[in-house]
Amino acid sequence: MYLKRVELHGFKSFADKSVIEFTPGVTGIVGPNGCGKSNITDAIRWVLGEKSAKALRGDNMSDVIFSGSEDRKAQNLAEVTLVFDNEDHYLDYDANEVEITRRLYRINNEAEYYINRQPCRLKDITTLIMDTGLGKDTLSIISQNNINDFVAQKPEERRPLFEEAAGVAKYKARKRESVAKLERTTNNLERVDDIVVELEKQVGPLKRQKEKAETYLAYQKQLEEVEVSVLVKVIENLSTQLKTLDDQIKTSDQEKTVNDGNILIKENQSEELSKKMFHLDQDVNNLQNELFTVMKNVSDLEAQKATIDASRKQAASSNNQEDLKAKIASLKGILKDALREYNDRVERYQEVKAEKEQLSAQQSQNAQAQEVLRHEIENLNFEIHKKRSEKTQLVDQIENKSNYGYGVRSILKAKDSLSGILGTVSDLLTAQKGYEMALATALGGSVQNIVTASEDDAKRAIAFLRKNHAGRATFMPLEKMQPRKVREDHALICEQAAGCLGLMSRFVSYDEKITPIVENLLGNIILADNLDHASQLSSLLYARYRIVTLEGDVVNVGGSLTGGSMSKKNNAFAQKEALERLEKAIKKDEKAYNEKRIALNHAENEGRELSSLFMQKQMSFAKLEVVVTNKKNELTMAKSDYEAAAKDHEDLVDDVVEDHSLLDELNAQKKRRDELSEEIQAKRTLRMSYVNEKEALENELKTMRSDNRRYEKALTENKIAKTKHETEIQNYLMRLNDTYMMTFEHAKTLADPDIDLDASTRQVKELRNRIASLGSVNTEAIAQYEEVSARYEELTKNRQELKAAQDKLLTAIEDMDHIMVDRFTKTFEAINKEFNNVFRTLFGGGHAALHYTNPDDILETGIDIEAQPPGKAAKLHSFSGGENALIALSCLFAIISVRPVPLCILDEVEAALDMANVERFAKYLQTFADRTQFIVVTHREGTMAHCDLLYGATMQQKGVTKLVSVQLKEAQQMAS
């Protein structure tokens, strides 16, 4: 292996790219002082790994970059490449030619390294040349200072040169690395030992805490399994009982409501009967007074009539021929009276018959009216029940959100145990009247969004849903909601556009604290009166906004249209308005129902009165039939008597005008008497029916009031029981949620439906006692123990590995020590023997030897030199500079003799020698030239004469070095 060439660019005085070709043998580089020839030595040293700027004759590393001259600008980088012929593969690199390059940039002092143009590290270069004889601290580069210092060095300072020769440098480097590793390993082992000891103190207590925590968690898990089943069973039982109670409350409430209505109606009926009875009593009293007067009149008139009748009968009974005329007149008077009475009774008979028929017609009309009222009452009752059912459904939808998503309902049920749940959007917003459909359309599915106080509240709610498999929901944290707005110029267009009513957010009522929600959902949605105007407005706004109409049609962003019929059933805002309307309608129907019931009661009372009057007329009619028959018989008899008396005595019959006023008055008074008696009897009969009816009503009212007290008691008891059950259910649900973070629905999927409730309840109590007996429990101890235990085991393993590594390093260091001692000893002895021979050759006699300063420690001993030139004592400090140089060169050549190096650069090492010694030096170089390539920087002619190739270093341009191949004569001139 040899150095084929050196390529320099920007290194020190080599401003231009320079290539120096070398051949095996001795190459000389000559030139005057200051021409930059030593820069070649520095360049080679730099590439081979020199890191000290001072060793390169500078203050800092950037000084190696050409700094410029009067005629040349400074370079920004320095680059040097050494090219070695490696056909013998002396360098451990799979290439016949090896290029080693080092590059340095002025900016940031950034350095780059390459081997065969492949980027590498400086360490890769030093590893490549280690123990090859190349390197910044080896025999490959020897300067005048090295030669001068060699003899004066301390014995310990000479040792590295002999180590390089003995080839133990790599072992020493490895030993240093091993010792450093051993030190680090020992330090690590000490730290690990300290940590292991500390962890051993923690493992025991943590293990006990961990076992306690595991027992606690096992009890907790068992408790959860059992208690969840118990809670589910209890909640189901209570829910069943609660449903029964609800049914009973509903039934009792309905019965009480019906009973209250009936009581009210019965009380009205009773009150009305009392009024009627009062009026009947007054009527009867007045009628009786009038009847008394009429009966007195009848009595007086009948007395008068009896007198007349007696006179007539007396006249009629006379057989005297002289009284015959008076007899016929009397019989004629009786006949006329009989006829008048008969006609009067027939007229009365016809009147009663007509009244009876009229009452019968009124009864039919009354019965029909009652039927109509009953039908209307039945229809109203059906409507009331129907609307109450609709109200129940609406209340369920509004309060329980029965038509909302499962996730939303789950969150609302667990609202009390979840922090920050403010409610759904539909709960927090109220549409202004007439805008319900528009608002529902604008919000769409967002009505079910749940508003939370913070993002963390929303995250906890989502975790709750995920744990319970309770569906999904959308959450709107107040703190995160950003408003959506309409641009000012677009808002001006809206104000001028036909049919634009404004932003949808203006038509809702809400609490001020949820303003961010409203502005986020509705702040950029525009309301129009109809679809045509909405479409026109969308065109004006370039279809950038969503526009809704009062009827629920939509012009979407981008211009698409959505519309058609829409059910109000699931419209959360219409539901509230519908509930109000329904409640008003129910009240209206209930009022009408009660009014119809009262009207029916009036009709029934009227029917009873008509029935009573009809019965009375029926009786009067029957009596009059008898009276008419009697009066007819009386008329017939009177007629017969008259005709018998008047027969054959027509001349005695006179057309005497008679006064019938008494009879007419008597008939009128009798008629009035009969009418009064009939009316009094009818009213008394009616009053008696009212008395009976009122008594029946009072009995019914008594029963009803008793029923009401029973209903009220049942309602109170059931409501108390319901409240208790609801509280218990809520407490159990809260326990499920707070303790186990479960919804009831999720708990049901985990519960055992066949548990024995009593036994399981006892088991829960027992498990709680066991948990309580454990005292304070650190559940984190499990993870802490696992962590500490794993770390303890890992560190224990590491300690074992470190001890094994320590033992291995100690063994390796010991082995390397043996190798280094063996190699160093053998090499030292060979160099010592050769040193004496070279010394005698260069000095022409004398004696020289090398000695250990500490033979007992070969690895650390210094190297002492004993030299005795011919005719002088062996005292190094008394030698001249030339003698010291020869001694150093003798040692150098001795080392090269024992351990040849591929390349040796000698930088004016013979400067202190006289001409004769220079000649010896130069000749001696030639003895090694077949094994070692020498590059000699020199001023001496004797050295030049023995060089195989000569280069001259010049500065044709100030500050810039040029190298040219020269002949010996030219070299002598350049050096002089």
Q: Is 34 annotated as a binding residue?
A: yes
Regions of the chain with pLDDT less than 70: 135-139, 169, 305-306, 308-334, 337, 399-402, 565-574, 641-663, 873-878, 968-976
Computed from CA positions of residues 853, 858, 861, 863, in that sequence, does the dihedral angle turn out positive or negative?
Answer: positive
Strand partners, 29: 937, 951
Instruction: Quote the DSSP letter at residue 432.
Output: P
d(CA 545, CA 557) in angstroms, rounded, equals 5
d(CA 506, CA 711) in angstroms, rounded, equals 50
Q: Is 570 annotated as a binding residue?
A: no
Q: Which residue has the tokens 């006990």?
A: 208
Q: Is 35 annotated as a binding residue?
A: yes
CA distances for 623 relative to 24, 346, 616, 742, angstroms: 176, 12, 11, 89
Q: Is 37 annotated as a binding residue?
A: yes
Nearest 5°: phi and psi at 627?
-60, -45
Q: Which residues are CB-neighbours of 359 under 8 A, at least 6 positions away?
A: 610, 613, 614, 617
Residues 64, 104: contact at Cβ < 8 Å? yes
Nearest 5°: phi and psi at 873?
-80, 155
CATH superfamily of 1-139+902-976: P-loop containing nucleotide triphosphate hydrolases (3.40.50.300)
The residues spanned by each domain of the chain are 1-139+902-976, 247-392+617-720, 404-569
CA distances for 630 relative to 308, 340, 349, 634, 664, angstroms: 21, 13, 13, 6, 18
Strand partners, 97: 85
Residues 175, 813: contact at Cβ < 8 Å? yes
CA distances for 819 relative to 172, 277, 734, 859, angstroms: 10, 144, 81, 10
- Backbone angle region of 879, left / alpha / beta, with phi > 0 → left and psi within -120 to 50 → alpha: beta
Amino acid 848 reads A
Q: Is 38 annotated as a binding residue?
A: yes
Taking the complete model, does pTM exceed 0.75, yes or no?
no
Q: Which residues are CB-neighbours of 821 under 8 A, at least 6 positions away?
A: 858, 859
3-state secondary structure 376-421: HHHHHHHHHHHHHHHHHHHHHHHHCCCCCCHHHHHHHHCHHHCCCE
Q: State which fold the 404-569 domain adopts.
A: Alpha-Beta Plaits (3.30.70)
Residue 310's pLDDT is what? 66
Nearest 5°: phi and psi at 930?
-80, -15
d(CA 453, CA 398) in angstroms, rounded, equals 23
Q: Is 68 annotated as a binding residue?
A: no
Closest by Cα among 503, 494, 486 to 536: 494
Q: Are strands 2-9 and 18-21 parallel, antiparallel or unpaired?
A: antiparallel
Computed on alpha carbons and rounded to an integer, the radius of gyration of the chain in Å comes to 69
Q: Is 769 annotated as a binding residue?
A: no
**Do the domains 404-569 and 1-139+902-976 match in fold?**
no
